[in-house]
Amino acid sequence: MSRRRYVPRGVPGGYRIWDNTGRRWWGDLYQLCPDDLVAALNGGASHERITALLRHYRALKR
């Protein structure tokens, strides 16, 4: 099994997504662990699917 590129990491206040290849944070701070978003990023999902998941998690923050 290969090493995952995107992994969720717990930070004060919630979760952030760490990019192992770029060695930087990706996206916003999330209150809940974005498991399905991370799976879509690592699984090569379509741009529309990733955008829909981003909108879903941003709506949860409001």
Count up the domains in the chain and report the number: 1
Query: How high is the pLDDT of residue 1?
Result: 54
Query: Residue 20 falls within a domain, yes or no?
Result: yes
Query: Residue 43 falls within a domain, yes or no?
Result: yes
Distance in angstroms (rounded) separating the CA atoms of residues 42 and 50: 11
Distance in angstroms (rounded) separating the CA atoms of residues 5 and 36: 14
Full domain range(s) for residue 36:
6-61
1-60 pLDDT tens trace: 578 999 999 999 999 999 999 999 999 999 999 999 999 999 988 999 999 999 999 998
Instruction: Please measure the distance between the N-terminal and C-terminal CA atoms of the chain and give it in whole angstroms.
Output: 37
Query: Residue 1 falls within a domain, yes or no?
Result: no
Distance in angstroms (rounded) separating the CA atoms of residues 57 and 4: 21
* DSSP reduced 3-state for 1: coil
Query: Residue 33 falls within a domain, yes or no?
Result: yes
Query: How high is the pLDDT of residue 60?
Result: 86
Do 40 and 50 form a contact (C-beta atoms < 8 A)? Answer: yes
Q: With a cut of 80, say whether residue 61 has pLDDT above it.
A: no
Q: Does pTM top 0.85 for this prediction? A: yes
